Chains A and B, each alone.
Chain A
Amino acid sequence: MRTQGDLELVHLTKRYGDTVAVDDISHIFAPASYVCLLGPSGCGKSSTLRMIAGHESVSSGGIVLHGMEISNLPPAQRGTAMMFQNYALFPHLNVRDNVAFSLRMKGVDKATRHKKAMALLELVDMAHLADRLPAQLSGGQQQRVALARALITEPRVLLLDEPLSALDPFLRIRMRAELKRLQRELGITFIHVTHGQDEALALADECVVMNRAVIEQAGPPREVWGAPRTEFVARFMGGHNVLDWHGARVAIRSDEVRIVASGGIAATASAVEYQGDRVALTAKTEGGEEITALVSDAAFFAQPINPGEALRLGWDEGRLHRLEA
């Protein structure tokens, strides 16, 4: 599976004093892929990203990009570029100068760097605001500028640190489509750190789920969501119930759980949540386990159930998915 343009983490470790933020992770990121690093806060995803970017030193292990060990190079020489969570635009420079900053640092003359900056602003559809200061832009516009500034260095890998977290939900969905489009057009690797699984599922070619400083599971989103390897992944990715079943931990997708007239297991409805096209019905079994069933709204309202009522939940035995550990 290795190719020339891989980004490879080799036994990468980050320690802060006695705490281990990233614990001996090894992973290969395929070139030109959209990768989401996913996990709860404090799982080590941001430290991993910052080590790849060169803003955090590596305690041990290595980072190889395009066949070159980069973990000791300064950030700008790694072939990576980073887009910061709060965008980190220079407040004293206008949009054009922000984007042209790296060229200015290299000593590129004004006409050339402005031309290049305008081309990138064109790419992110911000050319008409080139003379504005960052403070005069909305969050979404600032993000486009930050994106252009990162891309002007022509990186092989673009690192995005929770890029959508500062946007409102509506804009977030629009921007993520935009990110995906850009990644496809540019044909470079995007590594996108997020704690939102919906974001990861929507964007990623590969999801890397991290927890407690290690990678729990990595793979295409369908595989990670559809076949979670551990209880943590099943719970974190959502849409699953985790149960004890004949002495083993198993996961069953919520939309595979049905309300049945007979058979199945007995439970008491504890919460009903209307979600538009579906209804999420949470029920407690006699064993005290909570199970959520996603039922289509038509099916639910044909036979509505109120919290406190008894019901039976069933599923296709073959859909149970066994979890490790």
Chain B
Amino acid sequence: MAVSRNLQGWLLAAPLTAVLAGFLVLPILTIFIVSFWQATEFSIIPAFSLENYQFLLTSPVTYQVFFKTFVYAALVWGLTLGIGFTVAYYLAFHIRSEATRMVLFLLCTIPFLTSNIIRMISWIPFLGRNGLANQALMSLGIVDAPVEWLLYSDFSVVLAFVHLNTLFMITPIFNTMMRIDRSLVEAARDNGASGRQILTHVIIPLSKPGIMIGTIFVLALVMGDFITVRFMSGSQSANVGRLISNDIALLQYPSASATSIVLLAVVLLIIGALMRFVNIRKEL
């Protein structure tokens, strides 16, 4: 009886284990192994070598690119958190009717019905030198000449990132906020808390797990991205994702793998550090 129960447990866990092993563990393992191979312009040599890592960790470009990636991630994180928290707070605490709340939440998801690339590209005619934004600014007399930094700049990269990823912040925060017992807000008010104090002492601490999940989403998406940076910077900025994608385009798979492994390690370290601050397990 005990044996069959044991077997039953293994059988129940088997499908997920197989999926994870086949589609997560195996590919990462492959990347890890390839990262120690060597490559020339025309061939890949399956021999163990630390050359890729040596090159990566001694090149100043790596540090510049990683720094740029962190800057993008930090800016996008700050902006999506600010916008996401505000929107979630408005939806959860200001909208009284359940129906309105759902309609407004679905409204937030509408942009996600189109692909990332299309949403990115649609910024281009808006932000371009003769785009809508510049025409509006000039016809209002705010600027004399077209503003150059609107497109193909860090501004447009961050703008597109924020546009693409804010929902990943809104959803988990909204979800945690909806679970906050409304009588806690009343209890805080009964104890003399002002609106701001209720926010800082009750709602923000209790929304932390949602903030953390949103943070993980946004950081992982921004740090792993390459296409947004390429399109929106007009190929003028680089982040780690572009470094990897360039290597792949040049068939430098071992070097791309090594960069990927380093990026993966960095992202995992960041998430690991974040998890120490907030226990999200009770949320999941």
Q: Taking A90-B184, A92-B206 as contacts, is the C-beta distance between A76 and B189 under 8 angstroms?
A: yes
Nearest-neighbor residue (CB-CB) of B186 within chain A: A55
Contact of A105 among B184, B192, B205 (CB under 8 A): B192
A234 on the B face (CB < 8 A)? no
Closest 9 A/B residue pairs (Cβ): A76-B192, A102-B191, A88-B187, A88-B183, A92-B205, A105-B193, A105-B192, A75-B190, A101-B191
Contact stretch, chosen from B78-86, B194-202, B248-256? B194-202
Nearest-neighbor residue (CB-CB) of A86 within chain B: B183
| A and B contact pairs by CB, cutoff 8 A, 18 listed | A54-B190, A75-B186, A75-B190, A82-B186, A82-B187, A84-B183, A84-B187, A88-B186, A90-B184, A90-B188, A101-B188, A101-B193, A102-B192, A104-B201, A105-B192, A105-B201, A106-B192, A149-B187
A285 on the B face (CB < 8 A)? no
Sorting the interface of chain B by its residue count into under 10, 10 to 19, 20 to 34 or 35 or more gives 10 to 19
Q: Which residues from A are CB-within-8-Å of B193?
A: 76, 101-102, 105
Q: Which residues from B are CB-within-8-Å of A149?
A: 187, 191
Residues from 1 to 59 in A contacting B, C-beta threshold 8 Å: 53-55
B144 on the A face (CB < 8 A)? no
Task: Quote the shortest CB–CB distance from A150 to chain B (angstroms).
Answer: 8
Q: Which residues from A are CB-within-8-Å of B184?
A: 88, 90-91
Cβ of B186 and Cβ of A153 under 8 Å apart? no
Interface bits A46-80 vs B (CB < 8 Å: 1, else 0): 00000001110000000000000000001111000
Q: Which residues from A are CB-within-8-Å of B192?
A: 75-77, 102, 105-106, 153
Q: Which of B181, B190, B197, B201 has the most CB of A within 10 A?
A: B190
**A101 vs B202: C-alpha distance in the bound complex, in angstroms?**
10
Contact of A90 among B187, B189, B190, B194 (CB under 8 A): B187
Task: Quote the shortest CB–CB distance from B96 to chain A (angstroms).
Answer: 13
Interface size on A, residues (CB 8 A): 25
Interface bits A129-154 vs B (CB < 8 Å: 1, else 0): 00000000000000000000110010
Interface bits B204-235 vs A (CB < 8 Å: 1, else 0): 01100000000000000000000000000000
Q: Which of B184, B197, B205, B206 has the most CB of A within 10 A?
A: B184
Task: Quote the shortest CB–CB distance from A114 to chain B (angstroms).
Answer: 16
Q: Which residues from B are CB-within-8-Å of A53?
A: 190
Q: Which residues from A are CB-within-8-Å of B205?
A: 92
Q: Taking A55-B186, A105-B197, A105-B201 as contacts, is the C-beta distance between A88 and B181 under 8 angstroms?
A: yes
Cβ of A84 and Cβ of B191 under 8 Å apart? no
Contact of A75 among B181, B183, B189, B201 (CB under 8 A): B189
Cβ of A82 and Cβ of B201 under 8 Å apart? no
Cβ of B189 and Cβ of A74 under 8 Å apart? yes
**A104 vs B205: C-alpha distance in the bound complex, in angstroms?**
15
Nearest-neighbor residue (CB-CB) of B206 within chain A: A92
A81 on the B face (CB < 8 A)? yes
Contact of A91 among B188, B191, B201, B206 (CB under 8 A): B206
Task: Quote the shortest CB–CB distance from A98 to chain B (angstroms).
Answer: 9
**A76 vs B194: C-alpha distance in the bound complex, in angstroms?**
10
Nearest-neighbor residue (CB-CB) of B194 within chain A: A105
Task: Quote the shortest CB–CB distance from B183 to chain A (angstroms).
Answer: 4
Task: Quote the shortest CB–CB distance from A135 to chain B (angstroms).
Answer: 9
Task: Quote the shortest CB–CB distance from A177 to chain B (angstroms).
Answer: 25
Nearest-neighbor residue (CB-CB) of B189 within chain A: A75
**A82 vs B191: C-alpha distance in the bound complex, in angstroms?**
9
Task: Quote the shortest CB–CB distance from B246 to chain A (angstroms).
Answer: 46
Q: Which residues from A are CB-within-8-Å of B191?
A: 76, 101-102, 105, 149, 153
Q: Which residues from B are CB-within-8-Å of A86?
A: 181, 183
